[in-house]
Structure 1
Amino acid sequence: MSYLRYAALGDSFTEGVGDPDPDLPNGVRGWADRVADELARLDPQSRYANLAIRGRKLGPVIDEQVGPALALDPDLITIYAGGNDILRPKVDIDALMSDYDDAVARLSASGARIVLFTAHDPGGWPLFNALRGRFAIYNEGVREIADRHGATIVDFWRIEDYRDVRLWDFDRLHMSSAGHQRMAIAVLDALGVDHSLRPLELAPLPELSAAQQRAENWRWLTEFAGPWIGRRLRGTSSGDALSPKYPTLR
């Protein structure tokens, strides 16, 4: 099966944060680009738009991306949204999922193939472990939405490969290049699309002493966790000054 008009919606997960490429818009590649490359390999007429912007909560994803995506008349739409809402100190998950359901209903009514994602299991990450219950509730809501609208689901929570730290970027929040490659494989497999992707070769796991591990944790706290928490408190986002990578089909 091939798709000729693919639109990707969402936040940093779909924009490609953690998979750097300075030659591309916003300086990142990501799993959606990798999926699009495979679709184009199968059919050179295939076109791709990526409207995702890092830091976007569900409301802005719906308000800024759903309408423009539908205007492109896509036959394939991927959307992941709501993760940034779950990370806020307070969130009404029932209201969040109701809004998500309405958005997916609009997308599904277009006749396009819709792909949704559960969130990754944050258990084991110190900063996010306390939110594990929230993510589990969110994931069940996503599964219900997928069932209701006949969407394809990529169950990120259940992909065991992501227990490997090498599939994660330094910030421990975004996937590394190897993680994005693995996600592209999961999406293409879920769609039943024949593809040539294989997992990227991983470097050996570093053997860190206790002192080196403490130093690494401190670097993570000062270079990522501290600034990230600061943006949450100020109500700002790393994507505030950014535009979509590919707002039209290319």
Structure 2
Amino acid sequence: MSRALRFAALGDSLTEGVGDPVGETWRGWAALLAPALGPGELAVEFRNFAVSGAQTRDVLERQAPDALAFAPDVVSVVVGVNDTLRCTFDIHAVAARLDTVYREFTARGAVLLTACLPDPGAMLGLPGALARPLARRQRAVNAVVHALSERYGAVHLHAAHDAWVADRAMWSADRLHPGERGHRMLAARFHARLEAVGHEVGPSPSVEPEQAPPTRSAGLFWLATAGTGWVVRRCADLLPQLLTLAAHEVRHRARGTSVALDLRSARAVAAALASVSGAASAGEVVGAA
């Protein structure tokens, strides 16, 4: 009997499965995708190393060593949103960590799955002056993920600007994590990407949800109760800096020089990628953002 195909999932709450409850636990897109990775009768052994709140440092230092010991045939690394919500955000550090993680797994022959994601400010509906700095940070992370995914031959899913972002039925009550329908969509799209690039897989995961999507009132209730605590926990160290960034944003918009902030971010991404192996061109980076 051949060895089961091994699938390891690394990342934060998205990959942990938050928003897709099954009983007392989370399921999520990676667990939905796992059974569909084995062609024919090939069994799949799945381990989810993702942890809610994880940043790229956590993936590099805590999750990757355990996942490497598991010796996966397929590995997903979807992370970076939490980095943008911290006052310690550093696109150079994000690029260096992701470069190391991608390199370690692909050097061992694992098929690497990655994704670009929407920015949290837009999902929360923050005012423009607060949302734009977060959006710029997320675009920087996405540009890095895009460039490094191409560099390491990853199966990359563009999920930052698709129609699903605006489809309320795809999201859970917290407005930040996909609901069951969204997790199923992500699983099916990763499956389709694997097929498109020639990987042999089993039947696609179902996109039909088993539960109704959350109502608008459920979303408002979450924001008025648990949501407030979530924002405080995630953004307490970011808020002073975010207010400063917002003030800069307002001044630049008043002067008509907002493009300078975008150019500064693009240059930072280009420098970050140039500092890791196989330097990418600035043109590639700007296009990816």
| TM-score class, shorter | 0.7 to 0.9
Relative to structure 1, the CA distance from residue 44 to residue 216 in structure 2 (aligned partners, 3 Å threshold; closer, same or farther) is closer
One-letter code aligned to 1:155: H
CA apart distance, 1:203: 5.6
Question: Of 37, 40, 43, which residue of structure 2 is paired with 1:39?
Answer: 37
**Of 151, 160, 168, which residue of structure 2 is paired with 1:165?**
168
| Matched residue type, 1:191 | L
Q: Which residue of 2 aligns with 1:223?
A: 225
Is the Cα contact below 8 Å between 1:117 and 1:142 reproduced in 2? yes
Alignment of 1:200 with 2:214, yes or no, is no
Query: SS of the counterpart of 1:161?
Result: helix
Instruction: Give yes or no for the alignment of 1:147 onto 2:150.
Output: yes
CA distance in 2, matches of 1:223, 1:40: 42
Q: What does residue range 53-72 of structure 1 map to in structure 2 within 5 Å?
A: 53-72=51-70
Distance change (3 Å), C-alpha of 1:70 and 1:184: same
Q: Deviations over 1:193-244 (max 9, x none)?
A: 35243422596996x7xxx7xx964x34322331012213567xxxxxxxxx
Higher helix share: 2
CA contact (8 A) 1:40 1:47 kept: no
For 1:44 and 1:163, locate their aligned partners in 2 and report how far apart those are by CA, in whole Å: 37
Distance change (3 Å), C-alpha of 1:49 and 1:43: farther
- Secondary structure of the 2:21 match is coil
TM-score w.r.t. structure 1 length? 0.79
Give the equivalent residue in structure 2 for 1:84.
82
Change (3 A) 1:126 1:49: same
Within 5 Å, give how 1:103-122 maps onto structure 2: 103-122=101-120
Structure-1 residue corresponding to 2:19: 18
Deviations 1:139-194 (A, max 9, x none): 11101111111111011114322320110000001100000000000111111135
The answer for unaligned runs of 5 or more in structure 1 is 236-250
Larger deviation: 89-98 or 75-84? 89-98
Give the aligned partner of residue 261 of structure 2: none
- Alpha-carbon distance in structure 1 between the residues aligned to 2:6 and 2:205: 20
Change (3 A) 1:65 1:204: closer
Q: Does 1:129 align with 2:93?
A: no
Q: Secondary structure, in 3 states, of the residue corresponding to 1:133? A: helix
Deviation at 1:37, TM superposition (A): 2.2
- For 1:231 and 1:42, the matched residues in 2 are separated by 45
Deviations 1:115-159 (A, max 9, x none): 111112553641373311111111111011111111110111143
When the two structures are superposed, what TM-score results if normalisation uses the length of structure 2? 0.69
Structure 2 contact 124–176 (Cα < 8 Å) conserved:
no
- Residue 225 of structure 2 aligns to a residue whose secondary structure is helix
Counterpart residue number, 1:179: 182
More contact order relative to length (CA 8 Å, sep ≥ 6): 1
Aligned to 1:239: none
Q: Please tell me the residue identity of whatever aligns with 1:160.
A: A
Decide whether the 8 Å contact of 2:175 with 2:219 is kept in 1: no
Do 1:4 and 1:43's aligned partners in 2 also have CA atoms closer than 8 Å?
no
Distance in 1 (CA, whole Å) between partners of 2:7 and 2:86 is 30
2:148 alignment partner AA:
I
| Larger radius of gyration between Structure 1 and Structure 2 | 2
CA–CA separation in structure 1 for the residues paired with 2:119 and 2:234: 21
Gap change, CA 1:181 and 1:216, over 3 Å in 2: closer
